[in-house]
Structure formats: C-alpha cells, structure tokens
C-alpha cells in the first residue's frame, strides 16, 4: 500500500485500540460506469438489452443475428435463479448507505466493529467530482429488503459523525448533514468465493453452449474487477482457440 503507516496512540480516535493510514482510491461510480461503456463502444463493442430466463438464451442475442459461440455470465446475484446456472451457493449481503453533500476533506475512513450489532459497520468515502460523501453501512446476510431502514440510517449517520466530526460544523450533529439520498444494495455473496470458470451447458434443444462464469464477488467487485476480467479472458481465449483452428 502507498504511504502505509500505523497510527500512534495520540492520533487514534477515542476508544480505538489501533489503526493505520494509507493512500488509496475512491471511485465515483456515476462517472466510472459511463466511462467503461464508452471504452467498450470505442473498441467496437455492440451494447444490447435483452431478457433471458436460461443462460443459453443469450447465444441468440448476438448483434449479427448468428448464434454466439460463447457466453460470459456476469449476472451476479441473478445467477441464483438464472436457468442453466441456478447457483445455490449465492446469497445477498444487504448494504445500506447515506449519501450526503457534506465535505469532510480528503478523507476515507472505516472502523471494524460497532456497538450497534455484528452486521453493522462504519465507513466514510468522499467521492471526487461532485460524487458526494458516502456514509455506511452494514452487511446483512440473506436480507433481500430493497428499501432503506430509517433507524439504521440514523445509526449510520451518528457513527460517521462521531468518527469524523469535521463532517459537520463544530458542535453540530446528524441534523447538520445535508442528505442527497439513501441507498440499498444487495451484494452478490457466494459460499466459497467468486466463481470464475468455464462450463459447458446444453440448451433445451440439446445444443452445447460454452459459458464462462464471472460472478459472486460480494462487496469487493470493483477491487477484483480487473483481475477477475483477466482470468475470464484467459478462459474465453482457451475455449475459442480450437474453433479458430477450424
């Protein structure tokens, strides 16, 4: 890690036994996703929307009208119910955040453990280019609830202000937070970790379909995206190599 160091006792917030500091990256996803799409278009990728109930159905969505030779499955938590996959080892890890306009400065912070429960956490991520400040959070196993929990939101904001008082004017509390929105996400957790592998699946007509799976990255999808994509690419190239010789 860049500029990693352990914090001295005088630098630790009250009640903390230890801590570290380092330089890292915070992604503004509202800008990052369109940039990724633009890079795909730049390199000739054709983007299409479609509805599939079975993974093999995706072979019929190729922009040429021909059957695709291979499908890359990046459907995340949907692989739990997607026909031909139905991976029972997947489960949701519910997360909840509060996005605020308050600017704590050039800071990202997180604390392991809270007094509010074993599935709750405290983290602050200030995003660049007007992305707001993300306050979190929680990791609730097998919780499919898509709507924000107001009580949890209050606990999150209180913990974040306690951890980083500069979020608000001196002497103020959560009432001084300027809320942009509340958010809920279901992380694609998977028993055994991410699945990146080649599988041959037959459709309803008995046709064999090559599928490269790349899902189940839980709450660290951004961090693992490049490495996982490189691993998936190797599987794709190895699977298609025999066809290239024909």
Query: For the residues 147-163, what does the mean pLDDT come to?
Result: 97
β-pair type (20-23, 179-190): unpaired
Are residues 52 and 141 located together in one domain of the fold? no
Are residues 82 and 110 located together in one domain of the fold? no
Helix (H) / strand (E) element for 212: namely strand 208-215
- Within a domain: 114: yes
Are residues 149 and 58 located together in one domain of the fold? no
- Within a domain: 209: yes
Are residues 79 and 106 located together in one domain of the fold? no
Residue 157: what pLDDT?
98
Name the domain count of the chain: 2
Are residues 53 and 175 located together in one domain of the fold? no
- Within a domain: 195: yes
Are residues 208 and 181 located together in one domain of the fold? no
Query: For the residues 36-57, what does the mean pLDDT come to?
Result: 95
- Find all residues with CB under 8 Å of 203, minimum gap 6, and list them: 54, 56, 57, 59, 84, 209
SS3 168: coil
pLDDT for 92 beyond 90: yes
Looking up residue 80, the CATH number of its domain turns out to be 3.40.50.720
pLDDT for 210 beyond 90: yes
Residue 68: what pLDDT?
92
Looking up residue 106, the CATH number of its domain turns out to be 3.30.9.10
Are residues 6 and 106 located together in one domain of the fold? yes
> Which of 11-15, 133-137, 188-192, 240-244 has the weakest average pLDDT?
240-244
User: Last residue of a domain, which of 144, 160, 190?
Assistant: 190
Q: How far apart are the first and last CA of the chain?
A: 47
Are residues 105 and 84 located together in one domain of the fold? no
- Within a domain: 147: yes
- Find all residues with CB under 8 Å of 107, minimum gap 6, and list them: 124, 126, 164, 166
- Within a domain: 40: no
Query: For the residues 196-207, what does the mean pLDDT come to?
Result: 87
Are residues 7 and 103 located together in one domain of the fold? yes
- Within a domain: 43: no
Helix (H) / strand (E) element for 225: namely helix 221-244
Are residues 55 and 77 located together in one domain of the fold? yes
Residue ranges making up the domain that contains 171 = 2-29+91-190
- Within a domain: 35: no
């Amino acid at each position: 890690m860049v500029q990693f160091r352990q914090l001295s006792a005088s630098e630790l917030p009250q009640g903390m036994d230890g801590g570290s500091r380092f330089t890292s990256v915070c992604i503004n996803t509202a800008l990052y996703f369109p940039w990724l799409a633009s890079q795909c278009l730049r390199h000739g990728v054709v983007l299409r929307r479609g509805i599939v109930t079975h993974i093999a159905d995706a072979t019929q969505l190729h922009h040429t009208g021909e059957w695709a030779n291979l499908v890359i499955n990046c459907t995340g938590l949907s692989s739990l119910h997607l026909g031909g996959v139905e991976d029972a080892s997947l489960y949701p890890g519910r997360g909840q955040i509060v996005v605020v306009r308050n600017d704590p400065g050039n800071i990202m912070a997180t604390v392991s453990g809270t007094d509010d429960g074993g599935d709750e956490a405290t983290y602050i991520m200030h995003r660049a280019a007007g992305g707001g400040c993300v306050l979190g959070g929680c990791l609730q196993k097998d919780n499919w609830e898509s709507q924000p929990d107001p009580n949890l939101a209050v606990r999150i904001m209180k913990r974040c202000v306690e951890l980083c008082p500069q979020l608000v004017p001196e002497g103020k509390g959560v009432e001084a937070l300027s809320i942009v929105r509340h958010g809920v996400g279901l992380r694609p957790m998977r028993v055994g970790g991410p699945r990146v592998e080649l599988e041959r699946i037959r459709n309803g007509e008995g046709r064999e379909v090559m599928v490269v799976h790349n899902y189940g990255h839980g709450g660290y999808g951004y961090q693992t995206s490049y490495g996982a994509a490189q691993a998936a690419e190797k599987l794709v190239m190895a699977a298609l190599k025999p066809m290239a010789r024909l």
